[in-house]
């Protein structure tokens, strides 16, 4: 039924507050007055938001640390402490001023199913991030952010060369709400495309609670899967080559100093810096994985970890490309292993893998690892994988590790094992396979061997090295067929 046109005497343009001429279409909620912009659907655009006002202060403090680290010990010895402090203060002040101007020109808002971020000083830049390509969202709280009650939001999207839209900084509550909204819109839930002043329908935690409780000290939302004890974490990092070789390095440096009688400030500072570099990786892993907790909520994994810098990571299970299992040499005497995720869109090209939210289990025994793998890849048990070794003639190419190599087709995943000192196992779901390659080197051609490579969107995939040539082609054909079938059923 349609309404007739207004009467001749109707003065619609003269009425200041009435409803628009056409009501919104069914199923679309009109936005409150003010946020909508001309030229867009009603309720499709919200007002542009700014970062927290304390953001320039934290950015300036970070710049101060970078400046001090960039100025070497030799600079301090040449100019003296007074001029060194003046130089640091001037550079830090300039960095803070730039941070304030950058904060003034930075903003974000959600338009339809996109997150738009505006930034730039001389050259303004607008980034539109389609939320349907969203892979994971992190709520990160460095030490200064914890002291000021702030948090940083980081996004990972498909095909991104680095972390997208790092919004630094927001209040913890704002970061939690924005993370929940982004995940809800990315999941395509009804009504989430319409963004007004009010938050979308609550998903997960009830109203009045913080869905990102872990950054403030709470437990992860959802069903807890496992919590790593800090004692096991410390022991695991003591069982590393760096920890074992550290006493040897200390003894060598001390002996050198005693023999040359050289204890100048520069020599001592350089030595301490070198020793800190040796211990950097194990210490950093302890700080990063402190209080590691893993939980599951519906089809998502929630990971909480960190001491100096806390992280709350949310990873949809449907985005997982590969699960990697690692048995370091020194861990094997305690039966420990490590689990990692490979998720499409994570910035794998970064030199520092701390920025890759791919930890699934920093340390644990076989029973715990098998249970977690079963949660991520239902029906896959680490102790029941059909792995077969390569032919015996492969020992000419891998004389020491040929007995460790193995590959097989599970009902749901392709499994490949490798490594002599550090044993590794890669599990690739068939639905995540992007391509299959059969590669032969010169020596392999003489031995009638070939390597089967399975590529995923995440990048690394898995490989079955030195298989019999006929078996390699059969395996490649079977992998291709199972990948097509898994995509059709998925």
Work out how many domains the chain is built from and give that number: 3
Q: Domain for residue 349, yes or no?
A: yes
Following CA atoms 80, 82, 84, 88 in sequence, which dihedral angle do they give, to the nearest 10 degrees? 170
CATH of the domain at 169: 2.30.29
If asked whether residues 340 and 416 sit together in one domain, one would say: no
Question: Is 112 part of a structural domain of the chain?
Answer: yes
Tell me, yes or no, whether 351 and 417 share the same domain: no
Asked whether residue 55 falls in the same domain as residue 181, the answer is: yes
Question: In the predicted model, is pLDDT for residue 196 greater than 50?
Answer: no
Distance, CA of 293 to CA of 142 (rounded, Å):
18
pLDDT at 414: 97
Selected residue with higher pLDDT from 292 and 220: 292
Q: Cα torsion for 289, 224, 366, 414, to the nearest 10°?
A: -100
- Average pLDDT value for residue range 263-292: 76
- 237 shares a domain with 371: yes
Mean pLDDT value of segment 29-44? 40
What pLDDT does residue 415 have?
Answer: 97
How far apart CA 389 and CA 312 sit, in angstroms, is 40
Domain edge (last residue) among 376, 408, 429:
376
Query: Domain limits at 391?
Result: 385-489
Domain boundary among 155, 181, 196: 196
Residue 348 pLDDT more than 80?
A: no
In a domain, 30, yes or no: no
213-217, 296-300, 376-380: least confidently modelled range: 213-217
Domain match, 76 and 143 both: yes
Length of the chain: 490
Residues 389-411: what's their mean pLDDT?
95
Q: From 332, 356, 376, give the residue that closes a domain.
A: 376
The answer to whether residues 157 and 234 belong to one domain is no
Q: What is the mean pLDDT of residues 361-385?
A: 94
Pair 53, 168 in one domain: yes
**Any domain includes 27:** no
Cα 478 from chain centre: 32
pTM of the model: 0.73
Residues 180, 294, single domain; the answer is no
Predicted confidence at residue 190, as pLDDT, reads 47
| Domain-embedded: residue 415 | yes
The secondary structure of the chain in percent helix, strand, coil, rounded to multiples of 5, reads 40, 25, 35
Structure tokens that stand for 8 in this block: 């001749």
**pLDDT tens digits, one per residue of 154-168:** 887 766 556 666 798
Q: How confident is the model at residue 245 (pLDDT cuts 50, 70, 90)?
A: confident
Tell me the three state secondary structure of residue 304. Answer: strand
Same structural domain for residues 142 and 245? no
Average pLDDT over residues 386-395: 95
Reading the block at residue 236, the tokens are 């695991």
Percent of the chain at pLDDT > 90 equals: 42
- In this structure, is residue 407 part of a structural domain? yes
Residue 58 and residue 181 in one domain: yes
What CATH code is carried by the domain that includes residue 412?
Answer: 2.30.29.30
Q: Which DSSP letter does residue 348 get?
A: T
Cβ 75 vs Cβ 88: under 8 Å: no
Three-state SS for 104? helix
Name the CA radius of gyration of the chain, rounded: 28
Looking at residue 306, what is its pLDDT? 93
């Amino acid at each position: 039924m349609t309404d007739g046109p207004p009467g001749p005497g109707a003065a619609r343009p003269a009425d200041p507050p009435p409803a628009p001429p056409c009501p919104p279409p069914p199923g679309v909620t009109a936005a409150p007055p003010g946020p909508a912009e001309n030229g867009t659907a009603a309720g499709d655009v919200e007002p542009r938001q700014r970062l927290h006002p304390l953001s320039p202060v934290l950015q300036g403090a970070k710049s101060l640390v970078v400046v001090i680290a960039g100025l070497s010990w030799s600079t301090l010895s040449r100019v003296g402490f007074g001029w060194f402090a003046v130089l640091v203060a001037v550079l830090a002040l300039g960095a803070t001023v730039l941070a304030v101007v950058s904060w003034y020109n930075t903003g974000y808002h959600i338009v339809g199913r996109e997150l738009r971020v505006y930034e730039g000083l001389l050259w303004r830049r607008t980034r539109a991030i389609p939320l349907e390509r969203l892979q994971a969202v992190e709520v990160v709280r460095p030490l200064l952010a914890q002291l000021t009650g702030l948090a940083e939001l980081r996004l990972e999207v498909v095909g991104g060369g680095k972390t997208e839209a790092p919004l630094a900084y927001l209040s913890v509550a704002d970061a939690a709400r924005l993370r929940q909204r982004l995940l809800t819109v990315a999941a395509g839930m009804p009504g989430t495309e319409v963004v007004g002043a009010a938050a979308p329908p609550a998903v997960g935690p009830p109203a009045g609670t913080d869905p990102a409780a872990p950054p403030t000290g709470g437990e992860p939302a959802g069903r807890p899967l496992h919590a790593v004890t800090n004692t096991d974490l410390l022991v695991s990092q003591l069982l590393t080559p760096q920890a074992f070789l550290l006493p040897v390095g200390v003894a060598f440096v001390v002996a050198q100093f005693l023999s040359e009688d050289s204890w100048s400030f520069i020599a001592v500072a350089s030595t301490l810096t070198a020793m800190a570099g040796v211990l950097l990786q194990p210490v950093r892993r302890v700080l990063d994985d402190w209080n590691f907790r893993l939980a599951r909520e519906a089809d998502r994994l929630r990971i909480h970890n960190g001491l100096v810098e806390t992280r709350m990571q949310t990873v949809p299970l449907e985005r997982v490309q590969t699960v990697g299992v690692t048995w370091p040499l020194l861990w094997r005497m305690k039966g420990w292993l490590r689990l990692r995720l490979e998720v499409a869109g994570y910035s794998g090209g970064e030199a520092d893998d701390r920025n890759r939210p791919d930890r699934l289990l920093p340390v644990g025994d076989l029973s715990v690892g098998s249970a977690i793998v079963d949660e991520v890849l239902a029906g896959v048990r680490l102790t029941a994988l059909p792995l077969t070794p390569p032919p015996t003639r492969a020992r000419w190419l891998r004389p020491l590790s040929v007995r460790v190599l193995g590959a097989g087709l599970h009902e749901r995943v392709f499994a490949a094992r490798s490594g002599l000192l550090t044993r590794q196992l890669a599990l690739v779901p068939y639905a995540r396979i992007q391509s299959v390659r059969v590669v032969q080197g010169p020596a392999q051609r003489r031995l009638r061997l070939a390597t089967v490579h399975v590529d995923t969107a995440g990048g690394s995939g898995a490989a079955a090295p030195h298989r019999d040539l006929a078996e390699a082609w059969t395996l490649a054909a079977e992998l291709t067929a199972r990948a097509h079938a898994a995509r059709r059923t998925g």
